[in-house]
A and B are shown apart, each in its own frame.
Chain A
Amino acid sequence: MSEKVYGGKCTSCGTVNYPRRHVCSNCRNETFEPVPIEGEGEVLTFSDVYALAIDYETRYLRLAIVGLDSGIRVTGQLLDDEPKLGKRVKTTIGVVRVQGGREIHGLQFVPA
């Protein structure tokens, strides 16, 4: 799959802002270059969500916040049957939501 998720790397201080924003949260610079958000990291937290958001027809959704080795933290869907805090995972891109027939791609995490 060619789709990627991007953060904005500040052209002045190098901080990767994810989500991307108009002003760097570290140095207030206003220019960025896109960098893909990907790689390995560890599960900082996760939750099996039964009170599902609209658009989902599964029994539950396993969401996680992962701390990537690059120092960026990200939210995404955890595809792991044995989730554990601190477990090593890597990012992949998949369909994370289908809204009105439109597939939305985003970050998923699988065991590293």
Chain B
Amino acid sequence: MKPVYIAGAGMTRFGRSEWSLIKLASVASLAAIHHAKLGDVPIDSVVVANMGAARVNKQTALGSALVDQLALYPAMAEAVENGPASGASAFKVGCQAIASGMADVVLVTGVERMRVVNGLEGTDFVASLSHPEVEYIYGVTLPSLAGMFTRMVMDRFGVERKHLAMVAIKNHENGAKNPYAHIQQTVTMEGILTAPEAVVNNPPIAEPLHLFDCCPVSDGAASVVLVSQAVAEKLGGPRVRVAGIGQATDTHAVHEREDPTDLKAVRLASEKAFSMAGKAPGDVDVAELHDAFTILEIAESEAAGFFPRGEGHLALDRGETKLDGTLPINPSGGLKAKGHPVGATGVAHLVELTWQLRGEADARQVKDAKVAYACNFGGFGNNVVATVLEREAA
């Protein structure tokens, strides 16, 4: 396989947007293209990641639509839909094109505009990824799967609501330093858990998960420019190499897993990504995990191999995952604070990590980050893409 480099990364601010779906995608794409200083180097292929546009925006064929907006004809183009893992899946497809020699420059853009529908409709569109016959018909939604998962993990490993709150507090602290984050406000343990008014501030969503355990519903787009070694050398500039990608699937219905608290697909995808990169979890300097629910940051940090099973919450207790800890997790604010425009999320992980590896993350910069890891969690863990990035000496 030929090496693949990220030459540029850009995104829109996440949140509620008045922009159209295609405007969001175009603005993020241009930011990445300008960041890469592509100049007159042609883009061979465009891959758009999106989950719900056909339903919530009544728009399809997003690859062609984006090519048209950016006047990139006759570039190859398509859209990739893989639920909440659409972003990293599209990234993987882009990397494959370069690794195979089929393309030298690929634009990968993730986009979602989901606040255009009401909360019920938005929840239902995401719930449509659950098993139609044995989950969806019972009223299963993503928060409900996460709630049931959380109760099992709490019971088995001694995770408490304060640990979940610690994830939220940390990620909001990071998000407050990120101008692209949906929510740029800090929260306190008193405000969301221990003070009497916390029950009002932080109502239950899917017990034992409360409002501040869940990511917001966001609009937004994120984009990276992938290039071959030849183009990377021509462009100069900082070198971020895609060192490894792993993907794994698991049963569609959560109840069918032998141990429903084991995020097996995260474990397998991560092992593959690390093995391809020739790295170990201990080599990672900064990670972006898929904290659509606070419990997931804890569980994924274990399944990815950063902490032993059942001990992710203890690492939180010790402050290891804070911005100045030994393994900062979600310096961007995570899905919790940065927001979760579903199709954009997996790409946004890689945008943040590219900035981190280039030393461009300003107030939330992780010192001297050289190796980065991302986990894009699709379904409720039935399709996971893990990515390892590495900064190379110029």
Interface residues in chain A, defined as those with a beta carbon under 8 Å from any beta carbon in chain B: 18-20, 25, 44-56, 61, 63-65, 73-77, 85, 96-97, 104, 106-107
Check: B143 CB closer than 8 A to any chain A CB: yes
- A75 CB contacts on chain B under 8 angstroms: 134-135, 138, 140, 253-255
Contact B134 A63 (CB under 8 A): no
Contact A73 B137 (CB under 8 A): no
Chain A: interface secondary structure?
Answer: strand
| Known contacts A44-B260, A96-B139; 15 further A-B pairs (Cβ under 8 A) | A18-B253, A45-B155, A47-B206, A49-B147, A51-B123, A52-B120, A53-B123, A54-B123, A75-B135, A75-B255, A76-B138, A77-B139, A96-B138, A97-B138, A104-B137
The smallest C-beta distance from B39 to any residue of chain A, in angstroms, reads 48
The smallest C-beta distance from A78 to any residue of chain B, in angstroms, reads 10
**B257 to A, closest residue via Cβ:** A73
Residues A47 and B135 in contact in the complex (CB < 8 Å), given A54-B121, A54-B123: no
- CB contacts under 8 Å to A, within B121-151, are 121, 123-124, 127, 131, 133-135, 137-141, 143-144, 147-151
Interface flags for B44-76 (1: CB within 8 Å of A; 0: not) read 000000000000000000000000000000000
Contact A63 B138 (CB under 8 A): yes
CA A14 to CA B299, docked complex, whole Å:
33
- B141 CB contacts on chain A under 8 angstroms: 49, 51-53
Residues A19 and B139 in contact in the complex (CB < 8 Å), given A48-B204, A54-B120: no
Contact B137 A45 (CB under 8 A): no
Check: B363 CB closer than 8 A to any chain A CB: no
CA A77 to CA B121, docked complex, whole Å:
21
CA A64 to CA B208, docked complex, whole Å:
13
Contact B151 A46 (CB under 8 A): yes
- B134 CB contacts on chain A under 8 angstroms: 18-19, 74-75
Contact B139 A50 (CB under 8 A): no
Contact B140 A53 (CB under 8 A): yes
**B127 to A, closest residue via Cβ:** A53
Contact A50 B254 (CB under 8 A): no
Q: What are 5 A-B interface contacts by the 8 Å CB criterion? A: A48-B204, A49-B139, A61-B139, A75-B140, A97-B138
Contact A65 B205 (CB under 8 A): no
Query: B interface, how many residues as a size bin?
Result: 35 or more
Check: B251 CB closer than 8 A to any chain A CB: yes
The smallest C-beta distance from B384 to any residue of chain A, in angstroms, reads 19
Contact A52 B139 (CB under 8 A): yes
**B149 to A, closest residue via Cβ:** A45
Residues A64 and B137 in contact in the complex (CB < 8 Å), given A48-B204, A50-B204: no
- CB contacts under 8 Å to A, within B177-210, are 203-209
- CB contacts under 8 Å to A, within B146-162, are 147-152, 155
Contact B251 A25 (CB under 8 A): yes
Contact A49 B206 (CB under 8 A): yes
- A18 CB contacts on chain B under 8 angstroms: 134, 253, 256
CA A96 to CA B151, docked complex, whole Å:
23
| Count, A-B residue pairs, CB within 8 A | 112
- A107 CB contacts on chain B under 8 angstroms: 138
* 6 cross-chain pairs, A with B, having the tightest CB-CB distances, nearest first: A47-B147, A54-B124, A48-B207, A73-B255, A49-B144, A45-B148
Interface flags for B204-241 (1: CB within 8 Å of A; 0: not) read 11111100001000000000000000000000000000
Residues A50 and B124 in contact in the complex (CB < 8 Å), given A19-B134, A65-B255: no
- A55 CB contacts on chain B under 8 angstroms: 139
- B16 CB contacts on chain A under 8 angstroms: none
Check: B115 CB closer than 8 A to any chain A CB: no
Q: A65 touches which one: B155, B206, B260 (CB < 8 A)?
A: B260
CA A23 to CA B222, docked complex, whole Å:
38
The smallest C-beta distance from B19 to any residue of chain A, in angstroms, reads 26
Contact B137 A106 (CB under 8 A): yes
Q: B148 touches which one: A20, A51, A63, A97 (CB < 8 A)?
A: A63
Contact A44 B144 (CB under 8 A): no
Check: B252 CB closer than 8 A to any chain A CB: yes
Q: B137 touches which one: A44, A52, A61, A96 (CB < 8 A)?
A: A96
CA A51 to CA B139, docked complex, whole Å:
10
CA A61 to CA B145, docked complex, whole Å:
12
CA A19 to CA B82, docked complex, whole Å:
21
Contact B143 A97 (CB under 8 A): no
**A18 to B, closest residue via Cβ:** B134
**A63 to B, closest residue via Cβ:** B144
Contact A77 B205 (CB under 8 A): no
CA A97 to CA B151, docked complex, whole Å:
24
**A53 to B, closest residue via Cβ:** B139
Contact B255 A74 (CB under 8 A): yes
Residues A51 and B253 in contact in the complex (CB < 8 Å), given A63-B148, A75-B134, A106-B138: no
